[in-house]
Every structure is written in structure tokens, then in C-alpha cells.
A = this chain, B = another copy of it.
Amino acid sequence: MSASERPPTGSRLVGVLGGMGPRATVDFYDKLVAHTPADTDQEHLRVVIWADPSVPSRQAAILADGTDPSPWLQEGIDRLVTAGAELIVMPCNTAHAFVEGLVPEGVQFLSIVQVTVNAVAARPAGPVGLLATDAALAADLFQSSLHALGRQVLIPPPAAQARLTSLITQVKAGTADRSTEEQLREIIAELDARGATVTIAGCTEISVLLGNTPHDLPHDLVDPARELALATVAHALRPAPISGAVTP
């Protein structure tokens, strides 16, 4: 993006709680840089990234009584705050099931779920396709908020949902290829056939898979990583809020 608005002088230091997974953090940081209005290095935001891929599986914690990842997330938040972060974001949808209460007063936390729901609210009415991990679905990260907007939520049928889980695992393993992306497109086409007017790519690994410029999709896609990047830029360039509440 070329500089239409600048400069970040006085902008707030952004903390990124990442590593869940690492490729999703690369993708988010890439989008954050791409959406920052800047012509030179010096106009970009100051960012500190704590990428801890050792955080126990969020899926296992929600679905299978696995280790609670909260202490790892708390450690990451503490390190980011110590490093000076004034605004914290976490480019992992599923981990948002654990983050409530972990961010100290006075530090703003931008929720990827909230910015995504806001983005859906700004689109034309109609059923919303939801691509997310089984754990994110079980934790009701998105559904109630979408219902509150009066939106019907469409999730893939069980076989397709199982395939989606496998695709996410492939992205994490670095083995995703053109056929992985093709299978994802088929899942989206099925949602389209059922009437979805917009689909949420509600797992940052799906964002990685679709890249920056998804094409040939039958309907509009909301990319939470992109929405979070846009919101992060907007909030980092804006004066600090009065309270440390979760916004926007």
C-alpha cells in the first residue's frame, strides 16, 4: 500500500502473540506490513512478535481434555508487555477461546473474532459459510455472534469438515499443495450451493492456503488475518483508548 496516511510517529507498539501456527504468523505479519501506509522503512509500525509454537494444541484442549494452553498464552502476553507492547493481537482463531482475562489492564487486545464478525456485518445480508476447526466450532467462537447479527451460519457437512481438518494439518506440516487448495475450493463451492453469500476463512491456516488474492471463489470470502491486520494498523495509528477493554 502506498502512503496515503502517515506517519506512525507516536504510533503504538504492536505485540503479536504468534506461532499458532508459525506459517499463520508469517502470513499475518506479511499482511500487516502490506496494509501499512508507508513508502519507507521508517513509516512502518514497530512490532514485537512472540512466536511460541510449543503452546499445547488448542484443539486437543477443547475437544479431548488436553493440556490447557492458557499458561503458555499468559507467558507470551507477559513477554510482549515486558517488551513494550501497547496493543496485542493473536493471529490464531481457535486460541481466542482461551485468551479472556489474560491481557492486563491498560493493554488493548484486538480480537480476530470480533473484527471478523464486524467485517461480516458490513457485507450484504445472507447466510454465512464458516470454515473453522472442530474446536473453534465447539467453543462457539463465531456462531452466536453471527446469529446475533441475524445471520444463518452454514458449516461444512461432516465428511467435508473432516477433510478441512486434514487440510489445516497439511498447512501446519508444510505439505499443502495445489490439490490441497483445490479441495478447499470444493468445500467452499458446497457452501455456495447451499446459499452462502459470504464465507469466513475462520482458521489462519486457511488464510495461508488461500494466499493474499483468492480468486475463482463463487462468493466473497472474509479473511480474519486480513481483517485483523487492517484493524491493527488502524488502532496502532490511533491514540490509546481510555480503558484496557477488548475492542473494537
Contacts and interface: CB of A to CB of B under 8 A. Distances in A.
A22 B50 CA distance: 16
A57 to B, nearest CB: 7
A36 B38 CA distance: 31
A36 B21 CA distance: 13
A34 interface: yes
Q: How many copies does the complex hold?
A: 2
Contacts of A175: 2
A173 interface: yes
A110 B42 CA distance: 25
Interface string A34-70: 1010111111111111111111110000000000000
Category for how many chain A residues contact B = 35 or more
A141 B48 CA distance: 28
B23 A33 contact: yes
A193 to B, nearest CB: 33
Contact of A33 (B2, B26, B38, B56): B26
Given A49-B48, A82-B83, A42 B54 contact: yes
B46 A52 contact: yes
Interface centre among A1, A56, A83 (most CB of B within 10 A): A83
Contact of A53 (B43, B48, B51): B43
A57 B48 CA distance: 20
Contacts of A82: 82-83
A54 B14 CA distance: 14
A29 interface: yes
A19 interface: yes
A83 B173 contact: no
A40 B1 contact: no
Contacts of A44: 19, 21-22, 51, 53
Interface of A: 1-2, 8, 19-23, 25-26, 29-30, 33-34, 36, 38-57, 79, 82-84, 172-175
Given A22-B41, A42-B53, A42-B54, 5 more contacts: A2-B173, A26-B29, A29-B51, A46-B54, A83-B83
